[in-house]
Amino acid sequence: MSEHTYPNKLEPGSPMVRFSNVTKRYGPLVVLDSLDLDVAPNEMVSIIGPSGSGKTTVLRMLMTLETIDDGVIYVDGEPLTHMERNGDLVKANASHLRKMRGNIGMVFQHFNLFPHMTALQNCMEAPVQVLGLSKDEAEQRSVELLDLVGLADKKDQHPSRLSGGQQQRVAIARALAMRPKVMLLDEVTSALDPEVIGEVLNVIRKLNSEHSLTMLMVTHQMGFAKEISDRVCFFYGGNIAEQGPPDQIFGNPKNERTRQFLSAVLEAT
C-alpha cells in the first residue's frame, strides 16, 4: 500500500464508513481511483454522477460484493476489507467478511427478491438462518417491517404477484430485518415505472426521519436527493469531483463537470 497509513482500528467518534485511499480495477480499467470518503453516523449521503464514474462500485465494495485492490474500507471503526493479524492489517478472510457484513444492508436496483418465497418468508429468511432468531421472533419482526413499508396485507404473496414498487418495498423491509447499521440503496427506483416510484421514495423518507441509520444512496432522482440528503457526492472518473450540502451542489456547483452533468440531467427531465 502507498504512503497512506492504515490504522488497525479507528478512534471512537470516527465516521461510520471510511474509504481510505481505495482503488478498484477491472483489468486495465480503473473504476475507483484512490478514493477517500467518510460518512458520519446517521448521515444520509447521495451519490450522483454519470455511468462508469464508480458510484455503484462504491456500494458494491461496501457490501463485499467486490474485492479491493488498494486501500482500506472501515465500517464502524473496524476494517471491513482487511483484518488484524499479529498487529498488522492483512486482507480479510471469509469469516471476517461474514462478521463485518452483518453491519451492512443493501437494496438492489432489480429487487432480487427470492421468487420461491412469500414476502414474509423473504424477510424472515436471513434472521432465522443467520441471526438464529426463532420462527416466531423472525415473523414478528418481519410483520412489523412489512407494516412499516405499508405492505402488511401482502405478506403472504409471492413476488410475482407484486408490482415493482411493492417488490422494492419488500426488499427494503428484508434488508432492514437484519438491523444493519449502514443501508445501501443502489438506484432503487431506476427499474420502476414512474407511478410507483413515489411509494418507494416515501418509505426511504420515513426511514431517514424515523430511524437512526447511516444511508448511502446512488440515485438519478435529483429532486429526491436534494430534498432528503445531508450531503451529496458527485462522482466523476472514479473519484469524488465535488461534494457538499444539497443546496450547494444543486444550486451553486463549483466544479465545471458537476455543472455539465446537472444541466444534462435537467434537460432530460
Partner 1 sequence: MSYLEFLATYGGRFVDGAIITAQQTVLATVVAISMAVLMGLMRLSPSLFVRGIATVYIEIFRGTSLLVQLFWIFYVLPLFGLPLEKFTAGFLAVGMNLGAYGAEVVRGAIQAVPKGQYEAALALNLSPMTRMRRIIFPQAILLMLPPWGNLLIELLKGTALVALISVSDLMFEAKQINGSTFLSIEAFGTALVIYYVFGRMVISPAMRRLEHVMARKMGQA
**Site residues (vs partner 1, CB under 8 A):** 63-65, 98, 101-102, 104-106, 108, 110, 112-118, 125-126, 129-130, 158-161, 171, 174-175, 178
What are the φ/ψ torsions at residue 4 (nearest 5 degrees)? -55, 140
CB of 41 to partner 1, least distance (A): 21
Considering beta carbons, is residue 129 or 140 the nearer one to partner 1?
A: 129
Q: Which three cell numbers stand for residue 31?
A: 473504476
Q: What is the DSSP string of 99-143?
A: HHHTTEEEE-TT----TTS-HHHHHHHHHHHTS---HHHHHHHHH
- Integer Cα distance of 259 and 262 in angstroms: 5
Q: Which three cell numbers stand for residue 176?
A: 432492514
Fill in the DSSP letter of residue 269. Answer: -
Considering beta carbons, is residue 113 or 203 the nearer one to partner 1?
A: 113
Considering beta carbons, is residue 39 or 107 the nearer one to partner 1?
A: 107
Considering beta carbons, is residue 174 or 231 the nearer one to partner 1?
A: 174
- What is the number of other CB atoms lying within 10 angstroms of the CB of residue 266? 10
Comparing CA positions, the residue from 217, 118, 95 lying closest to residue 166 is 118
CB of 60 to partner 1, least distance (A): 8
CB of 8 to partner 1, least distance (A): 23
Fill in the DSSP letter of residue 56. Answer: H
Considering beta carbons, is residue 103 or 239 the nearer one to partner 1?
A: 103
Q: Which three cell numbers stand for residue 35?
A: 478514493
CB of 105 to partner 1, least distance (A): 7
CB of 117 to partner 1, least distance (A): 8
